[in-house]
Structure 1
């Protein structure tokens, strides 16, 4: 068995383990959860997401990132969408301030569309709508289609303090990334697969400026960056750059969900230090190389990983509620 086939065999085995080893609470989630209460919910959400995506391409990465941030803090309960009059909600934290408004707007629009259907009114949680919308932006961007587990309730609390230190940062090395993902019961393969979401989206220059200026000395560049790519980044992000300028995380196909993110890592073109860090150990390189070589494999493992992500901290039964408005908790 040659190296590539061996890697695919090993990763396929891991994939099977991921699928048959559910996270805590996942048994209470199911694909047909709304079959009686709101049978057309997936179509309603998909149509709303499609319309929003036609208006602005940023909808896809913004929604994907919103889902990740929500699940990584207090579990997948849409608490990241809650607003606070005093500015003390999750969305007000420094690490969440960069979340694009289009992600929030996508969920709110989809929720509004669902609420307009008489039989669906007050039946579908914002957390489930966010999970569905995330799947939909992936599909509409050329990525894999998959069944979304449903049955989450919405959280009732959201605090800025809960975010600090609980999200991976752009400067993280591989050890730091693995530790954070492991704290949520997510594996090395989950980490690398979910990072593939960076095939969509953009980053502000401030998130990687130290890689192209003042890396170790005043004029040095991060040696992990391909030097030609680094020089190009310097042109796009001069030292006194406008903070509103953004650069695609995947310079090859920034609007398409594909495996080019991994091909970029092989060439030293991972924009963020935390992205290129995935190509710094022997084991992680093997996974990156396998994903770069086989789109189908990447998509299958990604679906398993994002399904596991969607099970984190799920609130069911009396643990949460179904918000009437995603931005505020219910009064009753």
Structure 2
């Protein structure tokens, strides 16, 4: 036991940039967690995910978003994957997730394959973390080593999902506060917002910008008027709530820094996007930097994803390794 603990501590020191140490628990997250217990784990995730993205490119953004929405509620513990049953009220019904959270079937497929390869070994929380990284890489984004060793929660938090996850119409300060409550800073906020370089958003998430931004019946003046006119074609004042629009209309399925270039042209789709440029000097400078330097954006995005993935993980004997990501083990 002593030798095993010494080995874990050594690993944590060697892989310090990627490793989260819980000294009190004697438990660690590190990239090599499954090297012996399930050496094929990451290849299995990547293979299934690659097929899913090839069939439907949008799924990459959906899985990246699932990881984000999971970590902001009780930490990165796969609580978002739980269906409602046995006293559990699912986070899938929260305002940020209802009618928009997706990709659960892909996680099910990955989990099923991993259970066949190495039963009761790889957590759903780690699957989400790996899938978020692979979704980024498969769409042309940066790569990073994912710290692993998370375990799965025994419950969900509908209120946490409703309250903790930033909303498209939140003020800059509200969004920054929600990030800071998770141990993330303004640099993480701007970098992680860059994930909107891929994926879609629903009309209902930005309609107010087109027609009634400040309750005065007028559109958002920080939205390019020609772009706004295009958006109004498929996002009417009423109806069409679920109509989809690219978050980055220039390269919607490629992970790059066009998202930030769009903000500089006042063509950020969501209010929560454009305010990174218009409401705070420090975040505006970061937007300009990332728009100019894709390499710096990629580097910071990877660092911020590792940091976000380290939010309050369950480790050691806490939680469990679910055999089905949708339900607690009986």
Q: Give the TM-score, by structure 2 length.
A: 0.89
Deviation at 1:141, TM superposition (A): 0.5
Counterpart CA distance in 2 for 1:45 and 1:20 is 23
**Which is further off, 213-222 or 268-277?**
213-222
Deviation at 1:216, TM superposition (A): 4.3
1:24/1:311 contact within 8 Å kept: no
1:52 paired residue number: 52
1:99-114 alignment runs, 5 A limit = 99-101=100-102, 103-114=103-114
1:269 paired residue number: 267
2:277/2:287 contact within 8 Å kept: yes
Deviation at 1:318, TM superposition (A): 1.3
1:23/1:312 contact within 8 Å kept: no
Deviation at 1:21, TM superposition (A): 9.8
2:173 is equivalent to residue 175 of structure 1? yes
Deviation at 1:99, TM superposition (A): 3.2
Counterpart CA distance in 2 for 1:246 and 1:192 is 23
1:4-153 alignment runs, 5 A limit = 25=22, 28-85=28-85, 88-101=89-102, 103-117=103-117, 120-153=118-151
Counterpart CA distance in 1 for 2:65 and 2:189 is 14
Q: 1:259 aligns with which of 257, 266, 285?
A: 257
Match of 1:203, SS state, is strand
1:25/1:311 contact within 8 Å kept: no
Counterpart CA distance in 1 for 2:282 and 2:95 is 33
Q: Work out the number of aligned pairs and report it.
A: 310
Counterpart CA distance in 1 for 2:305 and 2:99 is 22
Match of 1:165, SS state, is helix
Counterpart CA distance in 1 for 2:18 and 2:136 is 24
1:22/1:308 contact within 8 Å kept: no
Match of 2:149, SS state, is coil
1:312 paired residue number: 311
Deviation digits for residues 41-97 of structure 1, max 9, x if unmatched?
111110011111122122111101100000000110101001113772111222221
1:65/1:99 contact within 8 Å kept: no
Deviation digits for residues 157-185 of structure 1, max 9, x if unmatched?
11323322111010012111111111111
Deviation at 1:23, TM superposition (A): 6.0
Deviation digits for residues 85-125 of structure 1, max 9, x if unmatched?
37721112222213333x212211111111121xx111110
Q: 2:219 aligns with which of 211, 218, 221?
A: 221
Match of 1:76, SS state, is coil
Deviation at 1:217, TM superposition (A): 6.3
Structure 1 residue runs of 5 or longer lacking an equivalent are 1-18
| 1:287–1:124 Cα change, 3 Å | same
1:325 paired residue number: 324
Counterpart CA distance in 2 for 1:185 and 1:53 is 31
Structure 2 residue runs of 5 or longer lacking an equivalent are 1-15
Q: Give the TM-score, by structure 1 length.
A: 0.89
Deviation digits for residues 298-319 of structure 1, max 9, x if unmatched?
0000000000000001000111
Deviation digits for residues 260-311 of structure 1, max 9, x if unmatched?
1000000101111111010022211111111000111000000000000000
| 1:133–1:53 Cα change, 3 Å | same
2:177 is equivalent to residue 185 of structure 1? no
Deviation digits for residues 171-213 of structure 1, max 9, x if unmatched?
0121111111111110100000000001111111111111111
Counterpart CA distance in 2 for 1:150 and 1:237 is 41
1:263/1:292 contact within 8 Å kept: yes
